[in-house]
Chains A and B, each alone.
Chain A
Amino acid sequence: MSIDWITVAAQIANFLVLIWLLKRFLYRPILDGIAAREAEIAARMGEAAEIRRESEARAAEHEAEIAKLRASRADILHEARQAAEAERAAVLAETRDMLARARVEREAERAEEARRFTAELNREGAEAILALARKAVTDLADETLERRIVAHAVAQLARSRDEVAAAAGDSSEAVVLTRDPLPEEATARLREGLAPILPGVTLRFEIDPTLSPGLSLRVGGAQVGWTVADYFDGLEALLEDRIGRPGGATKSDAA
Chain B
Amino acid sequence: MQLSPDETVVFTLGGFSVNATIAGTWAIMVLLTGVSALITRNLRADVPPSRWRTALEVIVTVINGQIAEITQRRDSRVLYFAGTLFLFIITANLLTVVPGFEPPTASLSTTAALALSVLIAVPLFGIGSRGLGGYLKTYVEPSPIMLPFNIIGEVSRGVSLAIRLYGNIMSGAVIAAILLGVAPFFFPVVMDMLGLLTGVIQAYIFAILATVYIASATAEPPPSTTRKDAP
A positions within 8 Å CB-CB of B: 1-5, 7-12, 14-19, 21-23, 25-27, 29-34, 36-37, 40
Contact = CB atoms under 8 A, between A and B. Distances in A.
Contacts of A40: 45
A206 B162 CA distance: 172
A143 to B, nearest CB: 138
B61 interface: yes
21 contacts: A3-B109, A4-B107, A5-B109, A7-B19, A7-B107, A8-B116, A9-B113, A15-B84, A15-B85, A15-B113, A15-B117, A21-B29, A21-B32, A25-B40, A27-B83, A30-B43, A30-B57, A32-B43, A33-B49, A33-B53, A36-B45
Contacts of B170: 1
Contact of B43 (A1, A15, A17, A29): A29
Contacts of B76: 27, 31
Interface stretch (B20-28, B144-152, B182-190): B20-28
Contact of A11 (B22, B45, B84, B87): B22
Given A3-B109, A7-B21, A19-B80, A14 B60 contact: no
Nearest to A19: B84
Give the most central of B3, B56, B84, B104: most A CB within 10 Å: B84
Given A21-B32, A22-B32, A7 B80 contact: no
Chain A residues touching B, majority SS? helix
Contacts of B87: 22
Given A26-B32, A26-B56, A37-B45, A11 B21 contact: yes
B36 interface: yes
Contacts of A7: 6, 19, 21-22, 107, 109-110, 113
Contact of B79 (A18, A27, A29): A27
Interface residues of B, number: 44
Given A7-B21, A11-B113, A21 B108 contact: no
Given A12-B117, A26-B60, A33-B45, A18 B88 contact: yes
B33 interface: yes
A40 B45 CA distance: 8
Nearest to B48: A37
Contacts of A9: 113
Given A8-B116, A11-B25, A26 B40 contact: yes
A251 B36 CA distance: 137
A39 to B, nearest CB: 8
Chain B residues touching A, majority SS? helix
B88 A15 contact: yes
A19 B79 CA distance: 10
Give the most central of A5, A7, A30, A31: most B CB within 10 Å: A7
A1 B4 contact: yes
B33 A11 contact: no
A37 B45 CA distance: 6
B80 A14 contact: no
Given A11-B21, A11-B114, A27 B80 contact: yes
8 closest Cβ pairs, A-B complex: A11-B113, A29-B40, A26-B36, A7-B109, A25-B36, A36-B45, A25-B37, A21-B33
Contact of A30 (B40, B108, B114): B40
Contact of B112 (A8, A16, A22): A8
A15 B36 contact: no
B81 interface: yes
Interface string B48-76: 01000100110011001000000000001
A1 B108 contact: yes
A167 B57 CA distance: 141
B121 to A, nearest CB: 10
B175 to A, nearest CB: 15
A14 B25 contact: yes
Given A21-B33, A22-B36, A37-B49, 15 more contacts: A1-B3, A1-B108, A2-B108, A3-B112, A4-B107, A7-B109, A10-B113, A21-B32, A26-B32, A26-B60, A27-B76, A33-B49, A33-B57, A34-B60, A36-B45
Interface in B125-154: none
B109 A18 contact: no
